[in-house]
Amino acid sequence: MAASNLRVEDYAGVTLVTFTDPSILDAATIEQIGRDLYKLTDVQKKQKLVLDFANVKFLSSHALGVFITLQKKVADIKGTMVFAGLRKELMKVFSLTGLDKMFKFFPTDADALGSFGVRLS
* CA–CA gap between residue 66 and residue 111 (Å, rounded): 23
Q: Is the pLDDT of residue 40 over 50?
A: yes
Span 63-119, pLDDT tens digits: 999 999 999 999 999 999 999 999 999 999 999 999 999 999 999 999 999 999 999
Residue extents of the structural domains in the chain: 6-110
- pLDDT category of residue 1 using cuts at 50, 70 and 90: very low
Q: Fold for domain 6-110?
A: Transcription Regulator spoIIAA (3.30.750)
Residue 75, C-beta contacts closer than 8 angstroms, at least 6 positions apart: none
Note whether 98 and 76 are within 8 A (CB): no
The pTM of the full predicted model, rounded to 2 decimals, is 0.94
